[in-house]
Amino acid sequence: MSRLNIDGLAKGIIAGDIPSISRGISIVEDHSQNYASSELMKKIYDRTGRIHIIGVTGPPGVGKSSLIGMLAAEMSKRKQKTSIIAVDASSPFTGGTLLGNRIRMQDSINQNSIFMRSLASRGFKGGLSSAALSTIKILDAAGYESVIVETVGSGQADIDIMKIAHTILVLHAPGLGDIVQSIKAGIMEIGDLFVVNKIDRQEAFLAIKDIEDSLAMLPSGTWTKKVIGVNSLTGEHVGELMDEITRHREYYFKNRPDDEGIREMSIYIEDEMRRIINERSRQKGDLHREMKKLMSRGIDPFNGALKIVDKIIGTEV
């Protein structure tokens, strides 16, 4: 894409033009268009920094997509310009998405004219897509006030959302096993609000109590973490949850951390290093063959990996 086209695309995004927004997201998703992505980010960067990023995480099956549809509808009622990014697990064979988040949110999206984009994780760890941050920047520049980011939902490992989100909702549901076991590692520290879905179930009260007891054991901070029970199918207590999200938004922007830009840059560095390694490994031949050769020489997997990375990057590790 020429410089002139990038200029026009950036202007379209800033004007809130949906085809321009969609085209911009397609560019930042495509690693073969790295130069175009770089130029686009330069053009829109000074129009960013105002969007509220709401991360929704939790194990599969708790109703994340249904709740997000309800939340987005509630935001629309409150006249907030809202968008959704749903990060789906991707196939290890084709790279395509495996889940159908768009289907579960479709009614809310159609009724409330909400912009929604699904992104494939493409093997990116931590439940996020490598293009998620750039997509958020595009939506920010386009004038969206809020974006809800749904992660893949891989349980305790699904904590990379903390690197980009301002308000993190950790979602649980009764009847999915030991609730304390599911929240004990990592997730407790990253959550700002804890949501127990399916409160019509008998075990919901016990689930809320378990989470509250676990939160009571954490060091107290300036923000008091709350547990809210909802029903994502009927919308029960979703308005109360939205009130708490709004309260945390005000808290976050009043106490905005100084290292926000550094955290964002670290995401791009990790992604760029991953891209370089993948690209150079293809250029230097069959990686699988190289690994087999090292193993046949009796080199252990750890030191074999160091040798391969050294060969690909060309720098002593």
Q: What is the CATH number of the domain that holds 99?
A: 3.40.50.300
107 and 212 fall within a common domain: yes
Same structural domain, 119 and 195:
yes
Assess whether 269 and 247 both reside in one domain. no
Q: How many domains does the chain fold into? A: 3
Last residue of a domain, one of 257, 274, 292: 257
- Indicate if 85 and 217 belong to the same structural domain: yes
Whole-structure pTM value = 0.85
Last residue in a domain, options 14, 30, 47? 47
95 & 201 share domain: yes
Residue 157 and residue 73 share a domain: yes
Answer yes or no: do 92 and 210 share one domain.
yes
pLDDT at 207 (0 to 100): 87
For residues 70 and 140, membership in a common domain is answered with yes
Q: Are 1 and 109 in a shared domain?
A: no
Does residue 167 share a domain with residue 128? yes
Range(s) of the domain holding residue 207: 49-257
Quick one: pLDDT at residue 1?
53
Nearest to 4 by CA among 33, 44, 31, 39: 39
Last residue of a domain, one of 257, 282, 304: 257
Same domain, 115 and 248: yes
In tens digits, the chain (317 residues) has pLDDT values of 555 599 999 999 999 999 999 999 999 988 788 889 999 999 999 999 999 999 998 877 788 888 998 999 999 999 999 999 987 655 444 444 444 555 556 666 666 678 998 886 555 554 466 688 999 999 999 999 999 998 765 544 455 677 889 999 999 888 765 555 555 556 677 889 999 999 998 888 888 988 888 888 877 788 999 999 999 889 999 999 999 999 999 999 999 988 888 888 888 888 788 777 777 777 666 777 888 899 999 999 999 988 888 877 765 44
What's the confidence (pLDDT) of residue 96? Answer: 47
Q: What is the model's pLDDT at position 92? A: 41
Q: Are residues 218 and 105 in the same domain?
A: yes
